[in-house]
Structure formats: structure tokens, C-alpha cells
Structure 1
Amino acid sequence: MSAKTPPLVAFACLIDSINAWLGRICAWLPVFLVVGTAVVVILRYGFGIGATGLQEAVMYGHALVFMGAAAWALQQGAHVRVDILYQRFSTRTKEVVNMFGTLVLLLPTCGFLLWLSWSYVGAAWASLEGSPEAGGLPFVYLQKSIILVLVISLLLQAISNLIKGAYRLAGRLPFEDQAEVQHG
């Protein structure tokens, strides 16, 4: 980033960096999911031993893989999109469509999820909710907090995308090549 980078663009790049960091960490969690699930199965069926805590840790990891990496997927253009018309649009029109979708669909959905989940997660934290299962993890409140990780990281990525989109449409930033975004 050069010294002439506008502060809002620098802020957007910071958001991108944080979400990319979180996404890359979450991208390694499937290794734990496979190993953890294999250990649970071997213990259960090979030795008749239950591993409730490990089984719950695998569930926590599964939630984090999808919810923790969602903003990174959005940033990379790896989210699901109906490309029937979109693929034929000019780069400028794609930017307008992306900004419209962010404003009309993503931000309201994130706002609704935040409103809906805030008291749910807050109640879990207030009681430091743990597993009801014998041998389960005492961290259910952390698992429920993953919902807020999803919502906040998506909100921040939406803000980043809107900032960069506005600068692109104003001609103050170059348009990115979609192939570069998706595989960068």
C-alpha cells in the first residue's frame, strides 16, 4: 500500500487481512475434523470407549470451518452466486450488482442475524453454558459465539467490499480481475 492510499481503502485492506487470516486458519480445521472423527470412531467401535469431549470439539470445529471462513469466501468471490446473467456483465456492472446485493441482501441479513443471536449468545455467556453431556466440553458459550464471528466478519467484509467498490466506481481504484480475486 502506498503513502497515497486513502484511509478508507487502508481500513478496507485491514479488514481483508483480518478475514483472510481467520479464513486461512479455518481452512486447516478439516484436518482436525478428519483426525478427530477417526479417533472418536476408533475409540467407540474399536475399544468401546466414548469420547464425548472430542466429539463435541469436532462439532465446534465444524461450525468454525463454515462460519469462520464465510467472510474470506465472500472476499475471494468463492460464495454461491447465480452466474447465468452475471458472467456476461461488464466489470463495472458486476461491481454495481455486487454493491446492490451487499446493501439489499447481505447487510440486512447480517443485521437480522445479529439482532436474533445477540441475546442467545449473551445468555450462554451469562451462565457460562457448558455441555449437558457427561464428559462434554464446558465451552458451549464459545461454540455459540461462533455465530457472532460469522455475523461480524461478514459485516466487516461487506463494509470493505462497499468501500473498495465505491472507489472503483469513482475511478480511484482499478477494477480487479475476477479470476485473480477468486484464486488470489
Structure 2
Amino acid sequence: MKTLLSLAHLIDWVNDRFATLAKWAVVLACVISAGNAILRYSFDLSSNAWLEIQWYLFAACVMLGAAQVLRVNEHVRVDVIYGQFAGRGQVWIDLFGLVFFLLPVMALMIYYSAPLFVRTFVSQEMSNNAGGLMRWPVILMMPLGFTLVLLQGLSEIVKRIGWLMHVHEMDLHYERPLQ
């Protein structure tokens, strides 16, 4: 179990690095958006490439940051049932959701998005817009992001099993009683 927990912490560390990239993607997208608006309204200058890079960066923010949201336990969850339990009950619900929903869905998303990335990379597909960008960098965000979420899901499973076995102390909300 100690080896699996070490692997889980490595996955957490990797996702922390990608989360930093996601944060910078937000900042950069905002700067580009503001700069583009200033140029467009002040000097009547614009470029499709600047517009496209904004949504490329937004895709990077969402796809590279999703695993971190799972890691820090801030993901969307329906608390109707979950909120009725504390401690072990919440851990078991998390495990059920991770094993039977998150992992299969992420595997399916990787299965469908990876060939799309390969196809756009090999063909060097370009945007149809004048002055548009290559498409493969933004398409890469899908299989990469889904893989990061899948890995983080595995990390969360290991940490929760470790918590149930009293091998690992999770710094999550499980220790707090419901109020």
C-alpha cells in the first residue's frame, strides 16, 4: 500500500504542475482578450489567430485544470445522498463513483479523443478561418486532460482505500463530522 500511496502522491504532484499551467492559461487568455479588444475597438485591427488562441487557452485551462479540481475535492457532486453520511460512508460513496463512473467515462473519452488528436496531428489540420491556427494543439488537450483526470481518479481511489485501512491520512473533509 505504501508503494501505491507513493504513486498517488506522484500523480498529485504531476497534476499540481498541470494546474499551474491551467492558471497561467487563464491569465494569458485574459491578457490576449483585453489586448484584442483594445486593438479592435481603438485601431480597428483584429486577427482570427488571436481569437482562436483565446479558446485554445480556455481549452487548456479546463482540460489541464479538471484533474486538480478532483484532487482538491472541489468537483461537482450531488449532496442529496452524500450529505447524509460522514467519514466512512462518504469515502465509500466516493469510491463507488470513482470506480464505476469516473474511470470508465475517462477511459471512453480517451478512447474516442486520442484517434482524433492523432488524425489532426498527422494531417496538420488548420483552422478554416483566414489566419487561423493549427488544430492539433487544442485537440491534444482532450486526451491529455482526460488522462490526467483518469490518473487523478486512480490516485483518489488509492488514497481513499489507504484512509479506510488507516494507512493514509487524507487532508480532506472526511475527518469533520456533519453539522
* Shared fold per TM-score greater than 0.5: yes
Distance in 2, Cα, partners of 1:176 & 1:45: 48
| 1:34-49 alignment runs, 5 A limit | 34-49=30-45
Does 2:61 correspond to 1:65?
yes
**Aligned position for 2:49:** 53
- Does residue 140 of structure 2 align to residue 145 of structure 1? yes
Contact 1:91 1:175 in 2 (8 A): no
**Residue deviations 1:63-118 (CA, integer Å, cap 9, x gap):** 11111100000000111111233233121111111110011110111111111112
Kindly tell me: are residues 10 and 127 of structure 1, through their superposed partners in 2, closer, same or farther at Cα, counting changes over 3 Å?
A: same
Q: 1:179 to 1:173 in 2, by over 3 A?
A: closer
The DSSP-based 3-state class of the residue aligned with 2:97 is helix
Structure 1 runs of 4+ off > 6 angstroms?
none
Q: Residue 28 of structure 1: CA displacement?
A: 2.7
- Amino acid paired to 2:11: I
Distance 2:19 2:150 in 1: 15
Task: Tell me which moved more, 84-93 or 152-161.
Answer: 84-93
Q: Does the alignment pair 1:115 with 2:105?
A: no
Q: Where do residues 18-37 of structure 1 align in structure 2 (5 Å cutoff)?
A: 18-37=14-33
Report the Cα distance in structure 2 between the residues aligned to 1:147 and 1:10, rounded to whole angstroms.
Answer: 27
- Residue by residue over 1:109-155, the C-alpha shift from the partner in whole angstroms, topping out at 9 and shown as x without a partner, is 11111111122111001112222222222x31011000011110011
> What is the CA distance between 1:62 and its match in structure 2?
0.5
* Uncovered stretches (5+) of structure 1, i.e. residues with no partner: none
1:154-173 equivalences under 5 Å are 154-173=149-168
Unpaired runs of 5+ residues, structure 2, are none
Number of positions where the alignment pairs a residue of Structure 1 with one of Structure 2: 175
Question: Quick one: distance in 1 between partners of 2:29 and 2:46?
Answer: 17
Q: How far off is 1:175 after superposition?
A: 4.2
Task: Supply the distance in 1 between the matched residues of 2:138 and 2:174 (Cα, whole angstroms).
Answer: 34
The normalised TM-score by structure 1 is: 0.88
Once the two structures are TM-superposed, the CA of residue 177 in structure 1 deviates from its matched residue by 3.4
Q: What percent identity do the matched residue pairs reach?
A: 29
Q: TM-score, normalised by structure 2?
A: 0.90
The secondary structure found in structure 2 opposite 1:28 is helix
CA contact (8 A) 1:15 1:157 kept: yes
